[in-house]
Amino acid sequence: MAYFRWQTAYETGIAKIDEQHRQLVDYLNQLYDAMQAGKGKDALEKVFRGLAAYTQSHFAAEEGLMKLYRFPEYEDHKATHEKMAAHVRKLEQDFKDGNIHSPLQITNFLKDWLAKHIMDTDQKYAPFLKAKGVV
């Protein structure tokens, strides 16, 4: 059973963005599966590297579309991305420093943030971009 199940409600209707969101969900599920197998801490470093790189490229893709089509809330959305990226880096450092002992803290945060971000923040730009012909 997947820790984070993808739902059609998460879809923005923009294929590239939806595929990237699914990949982020997959990273969370990989981490959760490793935790269930007793290998959460071992998997965490790999997942953090992947997550950090992927969020950076995903955020750049979203921001590129918003900027190209002059989405009015671009600056706010970008600031949300920057805050999330900084938080992920802090979580990774805290884990490396031994301040986080349970990968579950991290997966719960990421799951909650990703679901909320997709459902609230990303759904705001989706209709705007689709109206501009982005699919």
Indicate which CATH number applies to the domain containing 96.
Answer: 1.20.120.50
- Does any domain span residue 54? yes
- Identify whether 8 is part of a domain: no
Domain span holding position 25? 15-131
Whether 2 is covered by a domain: the verdict is no
**Residue 124 counted as domain residue:** yes
Please indicate whether residue 40 or residue 9 has the higher confidence score (pLDDT). 9
Q: What's the pLDDT score for residue 114? A: 86
Name the domain count of the chain: 1
Structural domain includes residue 6: no
* Phi and psi angles of residue 98, each rounded to the nearest 5 degrees, phi first: 85, 15
Place 101 in a pLDDT band, splitting at 50, 70 and 90. Answer: low
* 44-94 confidence digits (pLDDT tens): 777 777 777 888 898 999 999 999 999 999 999 999 999 988 888 888 788
- Token pair 């790999």: residue: 46
Residue 110, domain member (yes or no): yes
Whether 111 is covered by a domain: the verdict is yes
Tell me whether residue 9 is in a domain: no
More confident site: 92 or 123? 123
- The reported pTM is 0.83
